Amino acid sequence: MVFRRAYLTAALLWAATIPLAALAASGSNGSSVVYAFAIGVYALGRVICHQLPVRSFYVSGAAFPVCARCTGIYAGAAMTALLVLARPMRATPSAARARHLLIAALLPTALTLAYEWATGAMPANWIRALAGVPLGAAVMWLLGTADLRT
């Protein structure tokens, strides 16, 4: 139970950290602690994301530390984490249902990728972000409701 709450809370904190790091990076008179925070988040973002500026949202002139698609994935995970924390769900789906859920949640992201690869054009960042939301939500729901006793 403690591990589950910590995991769900970490998902919420990470989603909140994404725009905060960009805001911290954009400040012209921030303290060294603020800049260190931003550098740390951007370094972590670099490990998990390509961080292409054209594929990222901006706040105060600074790109987010992850792209729009990743932002959508983490936002979906955070929204679901809030729901699971507010109302713990007891039913864990079977492995087959979990696979079906993940495949369905992956489809919007897969479609945007297929579109990009087939046409060479990039959908708007808001479309890429929205396509990522179901994937983040599904993964968080499966992990957040998993029976950890087995």
Show pLDDT as tens, one digit a residue, over the chain (150 residues).
788 889 999 999 999 999 999 999 998 677 889 989 999 999 999 999 999 999 999 999 999 999 999 999 999 999 999 999 998 766 677 888 999 999 999 999 999 999 999 999 999 999 999 999 999 999 999 988 887 665
In 10 A of CB 53, how many CB atoms? 10
| H-helix or E-strand spanning residue 142 | helix 125-144
Residue-wise burial string across 6-45, b where 16 or more C-beta atoms lie within 10 A, e elsewhere: ebbeebbebbebbbbbbbbbeeeeeeeebeebbeebbeeb
Q: What is the DSSP letter of 87?
A: S
CA distance 21 to 34: 9
pLDDT (tens digit per residue) in 42-78: 999 999 999 999 999 999 999 999 999 999 999 999 9
- Parallel/antiparallel/unpaired status of strands 62-63 and 58-59: antiparallel
Beta carbons of 97 and 21 less than 8 angstroms apart: no
- Neighbouring residues of 94: CB distance < 8 A, sequence distance ≥ 6: none
Looking at residue 131, its amino acid is A
What SS3 class is residue 79? Answer: helix
pLDDT of 150 reads: 53
